[in-house]
Amino acid sequence: MVDVALGSLLDLIFKAFDKELVLTEDSWSNFRSNCFATMLLGYLLLMLGSLSFTLGAFVGVNIGTDLSNLPSPEQVVAILRSHRITHVRLYDADNHLLSALSDAGIEVMVSVTNEDVLRIGQSSAAAAYWVKKNVAAFVPATNITAIAVGSEVLSTIPHAARILVPAMRNLHKALVSSNLNYPIKVSTPISMDIIPKPFPPSAATFNASWNSTISGILDFLKSTNSFFMLNAYPYYGYLQSNGIFPIEYALFQPLTPVKQIVDPNTLFHYDSMFDAMVDAAYNSMSAYNNLVIPIVVTETGWPWAGGANERDATVENAQTFSNNLIKRVLNDSGPPSQPTIPINTYIYELFNEDNKPGPLSEKSYGVYFSNGSSVYTFGTDTLGQTTVNNASGGFCVARKGADTSSLQDGLNWACGPGQANCSAIQSGQACYMPDTIENHASYAFNDYYQRMRSVGGTCDFSGTAVTTMVDPSYGSCLFTGSTNSSIGGTAMPAMGPDGPPGNGSPGLVPDIMFLFLVTVVLSFV
């Protein structure tokens, strides 16, 4: 009788977590006899799961492809790995790039294009085919963790709003059928445009004309343990404020006492417009049954160039915004209303998309040029790298912004008269990509320095080189003098630990809870 009751309870638990329980008399006997091992495993997994909740937030990048000199998929991945980028969002599901991302140690968010939303929303078969072709065909080698359904559908193609939630549901059902619904979440990027008055955040609400659609989206996200995708640009918020807010507020810079930004209803102090925007979304959500769904900012950024009437689109402002954003996100805290929910964020964007329509600023959000060189000093180039204290006194690398011709002269000398071993930067070798003078010079300068320092060799190269205590190795490219045994085919954890929104992975939570509940039931056997 006890066995029957426990079997029924286990069956309920399995069904609740979309799993199937098939037990014969023999397998039930084995199930019971392995009770202790199962309990031990369950508790260990629970402990590991709890550890995942302590992991910090991450910063990723968006990869747009509307540029005239788009690198090959292999070159894109090499650039990502060389700059220690561990999370990316694609605006489609380009199969060539997904293949190149295989075993790269990078979490990938793929997207359903706006053009495909209508088709997938009207046909579960179309959704199943899309998942089979663009997701199931690449996992687990390519670490796909989320599907973004469209991009700002409510703002850009409002006529498709009625089909947006059905499209999300169809894709989720397809993931369930492929047993991929736990590791891969479905959501849709929402623009700040649908929050007409984001300040004060405590009074913010979604545009009432979208109430039905927003309600459906939130219900779906809650039921599937997914997250809310928000596109939030302080650059536009600052421009639209017409001088009400100081630019320091948009750039995460300190505010003087007379410029403090305070919500008059909650008395929360906002140090940045970014935090206020995220809180505006949280408060807009709370109007729907006090829902709190973790927010991931799927787009934010600052243009580094603009037209004559876009004077705030400068390299200095873009660099300040991006680097302060990274510091802000990686402090692992949320906005004032939700301080315990970190704000995982994707920066817009990897490359400058020169073919995009619109003003110059629209083409100038990239943090890297298509050859992999930086538009400005970007936080991913220093965050998370292994610091060392080796006998050589560090590494010798090319100075950021050094003259290209001078770098080439130094590279030629190092690989020639300097007798550096430059085989690793030859075509097809581990350190060839990204194929830039700066990257190749760094490798050659360092190899020379490590070999010759003990007999008087220096790290100067006519002022184009500097020493650093940060190991410049990446992926399978191991710089001479590195003692980092973890390098070799995988990217270093640059911008925060792997994981989803909030403090832990939504994909991991259901499985941990499932194992925990099964363990509790088995403890009565």
Element (H, E) at 467: strand 465-468
Q: Residue 459's CB: how many other CB atoms inside 10 A?
A: 22
| Residue position matching structure tokens 């729907």 | 288
Helix/strand number for the chain, H first, E second: 17, 13
Rounded distance between C-alpha atoms, residue 17 and residue 6, angstroms:
17
Q: Are 471 and 385 in contact (CB under 8 A)?
A: yes
Residues recognised as catalytic: 152, 299
A 10 A CB-CB count for 212 gives 11
Looking at residue 504, the DSSP 8-state letter turns out to be S
Calpha distance 524→40 (Å, rounded) = 14
Nearest in space to 116 (alpha carbons), one of 139, 94, 149, 88:
149
The answer to whether 106 touches 58, Cβ cutoff 8 Å, is no
Question: Is residue 55 classed exposed, middle or buried when 0-12, 13-18 and 19+ CB atoms within 10 A define those classes?
Answer: middle
SS3 content of the chain, % helix, strand, coil (to 5): 45, 10, 45
6-15 residues labelled b (16+ CB within 10 A) or e (exposed): beeebeebbe
Question: Do 225 and 510 touch, CB atoms closer than 8 A?
Answer: yes
Question: Can you state the angle between helices 404-415 and 437-452, rounded to 10 degrees?
Answer: 40
The whole-angstrom separation of Cα 13 and Cα 62 is 38
Residue with tokens 């995982």: 344
β-bridge partners, 269: 262
DSSP state of 84: T
d(CA 84, CA 440): 17
Confirm if 361 and 306 have CB atoms less than 8 A apart.
yes
Beta-sheet pairing, 59-63 with 87-90 = parallel
Q: In this structure, are residues 494 and 431 in contact, taking their beta carbons and an 8 Å threshold?
A: no
Residue pair 152/185 in contact by the 8 Å Cβ criterion = no
> What is the rounded CA–CA span in Å between residue 177 and residue 171?
10
- Sequence-distant (≥ 6) Cβ neighbours of residue 120 within 8 angstroms: 112, 126, 127, 130, 149, 167, 170, 171
* Residue 412: exposure state from Cβ atoms within 10 A (0-12, 13-18, ≥19): middle
